Structure 1
Amino acid sequence: MLGLGGKGEKQAEKYLVSQGYEIVERNFRCKFGEIDIIARKGGVLVFVEVKTRSGSGFGMGFESVTQKKQEKLLLTAQAYMAGRPPTAARFDVVSIDSGKITHIQNAFGA
């Protein structure tokens, strides 16, 4: 049985596929952390952090992706990319708040 986070990841995956993304890997883990979804679209590898909230008591899900979390995601993505051919990549956040999906592309970009 999936908890709230697992259900959110399944919902995010379904949404991404409907938007033309190909799912490459789910729940990649290494010593630095975990990346919920790794997808590809248009030749770009997309590392996706999924945040799910059942209510608004703790704010929007995307608001919880702090600088420290971004740094962990970067290290984890670098570990994933080690030994693989170089490719364009970016970080997205999919926030599911009371069932509403917000997709922030290039969430950590300038």
Structure 2
Amino acid sequence: MAAKDELGRAGEERAARHLRAQGYIILDRNWRCPQGEIDIVAQRDDVLCVVEVKTRRSVRYGHPFEAIDERKRRRLWRLAYAWTAAHPDAARRREIRLEAIGLIGADADSAQLEHLVDLL
């Protein structure tokens, strides 16, 4: 596995730990469908949260959140609706929210973590 992929996996694991510590329940990870992949699907209270995780070694090529542009947000919404269609019992009568977690650092366990709770 490439070092970039290992860092990404470690970042997703750290993000999941962070979410659990904040009271989220992880419902799914790395869910795939023909439209793409959702990093983490979680629940907090009555909100279904689709969480995009971006991990970078540094900000040399920009902040991790800069990779989540309007096109990516539209794609995440499509994926969120695809997930709810595939899991109707888990998604029933829940508000859906897009969230993002960005990690910056060579080691995901000690990287700086930022959590955006609502991507509009």
Give the TM bin, normalised by the shorter chain: over 0.9
Aligned to 2:101: 94
SS in 2 for 1:106: coil
Task: Decide which structure has greater helix share.
Answer: 2
Q: Cα offset for 1:86?
A: 3.2
Q: Cα offset for 1:29?
A: 0.7
In structure 1, C-alpha distance between the alignment counterparts of 2:22 and 2:97, rounded to whole Å:
16
Deviations, residues 40-99 of structure 1 (Å, cap 9, x unaligned): 011111000000001111111111101111111111111111161231110000000121
Does 2:68 correspond to 1:72?
no
RMSD: 1.3
For 1:7-26, list aligned pairs within 5 A: 7-26=10-29
SS in 2 for 1:26: strand
Aligned to 1:107: 119
Structure 2 gap segments, 5+ residues each:
106-110
Structure 1 gap segments, 5+ residues each:
none
The TM-score with structure 1 as length reference comes to 0.92
Aligned to 2:57: 54
In structure 2, C-alpha distance between the alignment counterparts of 1:33 and 1:71, rounded to whole Å:
12
Q: Cα offset for 1:13?
A: 0.4
Deviations, residues 16-43 of structure 1 (Å, cap 9, x unaligned): 1111111000011111111100000111
In structure 2, C-alpha distance between the alignment counterparts of 1:72 and 1:34, rounded to whole Å:
10
**2:42 aligned to which of 39, 42, 53:** 39
Aligned residues: 108
In structure 2, C-alpha distance between the alignment counterparts of 1:74 and 1:89, rounded to whole Å:
9
In structure 2, C-alpha distance between the alignment counterparts of 1:27 and 1:60, rounded to whole Å:
22
